[in-house]
Amino acid sequence: MPKTPPPKRGPGPKKKPTSVELPPAQRFAPLAIGLGIGMMVMITVTALRKRPAPTTAPSADPGLESPQQRTDRLARACEAARAMLWTGGAWGAMPLEGFTVRLWLGPNNGKMVTHPVIEAASQKSKLGEDVDALLAKVNDGSVSVVRYEPRGEIEIAFSEGYARAFFELEGRNRFIGLGERIARETGADGAALYAGCSHLDTRDVGAWFHGKDTKKAAAALVYVMGRPGDVRTPKYVPAAKDLATIQAGTAPLADATILEIVRDDGARTVTTDGVSITFPYANPVRAAQSSAKIAEKLVLP
């Protein structure tokens, strides 16, 4: 009788997978990485503790500046505004600091003029209420007077807060009014109001020019503003050595020629108590441009 084959056994119970045995080097790699990171953190912390404290950057607060830092800052600000002014940029939107405004007065029949405003400014270095109510409110400005004895000329310099007031339309008009008053009451042969960087001998912003007639007003313009030199940020180049030479050079010019030149550059002219030429507030370099055009027509030595 044939033997029955033994019944097939089914698969036995599955064995649980055992953990993979790693070689010794791989087994300790995570531990080594962790120790390495820890060492790096400790080294970094130690280095930071030993590093000297960083020096504090100079404060932008003007009250904490040294005198030299302030002087340097104002010079940079003025030169930046000046570059914008001469290249047609929006110079009026910049902080207009570091300028000095000057009121120049020529002689009267060869003699230096005098006036109570000039004498008071020499003594007090300020403008009082009796001079102008608005300008008298400037509390951080300074006024100085320079007398050029051999030439019989005088110059009143307004700095700091006064210069900032000059770059506002109302303040500018007050300065022009002050110039008109002094020129009229002293009988000065010429007068001019202009501004430039305090640390540079430049005549950038020409505002107002006055003379007993059209030719002498033009002479004051050319004498004070000169001929702009260079291209982008012109330097002041005198048109001649003295005022009398320029006055002699303007004498042959027709009044109509002079008025046409300045009016083409946007100037307004007034012929009351002499002749005044006022250039537009929005285009302050026009005075220098008119000066150069008139100087080209003069026969100067």
Q: Are strands 205-211 and 275-278 parallel, antiparallel or unpaired?
A: antiparallel
Return the domain boundaries, the chain: 92-297
Question: Would you state the pLDDT for residue 59?
Answer: 38
> Residue 1: is its pLDDT beyond 50?
no
Alpha helices in the chain (DSSP H): 24-27, 29-50, 67-86, 116-124, 161-166, 169-186, 214-225, 243-250, 255-264, 286-297
Contact 81, 91 (CB under 8 A): yes
Question: Would you state the pLDDT for residue 89?
Answer: 73
CA 257 – CA 272 distance, rounded (Å): 19
For 141-193, how does the pLDDT look when each residue is reduced to its tens digit (9 = 90+)? Answer: 999 999 999 899 999 999 999 999 999 999 999 999 999 999 999 999 999 99
> Residue 28: is its pLDDT beyond 70?
no
What is the secondary structure of 143-175 as a DSSP string? Answer: EEEEEETTTTEEEEEEEEHHHHHHTSHHHHHHH
Q: What is the pTM of this model?
A: 0.78
Question: Would you state the pLDDT for residue 177?
Answer: 96
Backbone angles phi, psi at 246, to 5 degrees: -70, -40
For 53-90, how does the pLDDT look when each residue is reduced to its tens digit (9 = 90+)? Answer: 333 334 345 568 898 999 999 999 999 989 888 888 76
For 34-44, how does the pLDDT look when each residue is reduced to its tens digit (9 = 90+)? Answer: 545 555 545 44
For 230-250, how does the pLDDT look when each residue is reduced to its tens digit (9 = 90+)? Answer: 888 899 999 998 999 999 999
Question: Would you state the pLDDT for residue 192?
Answer: 98
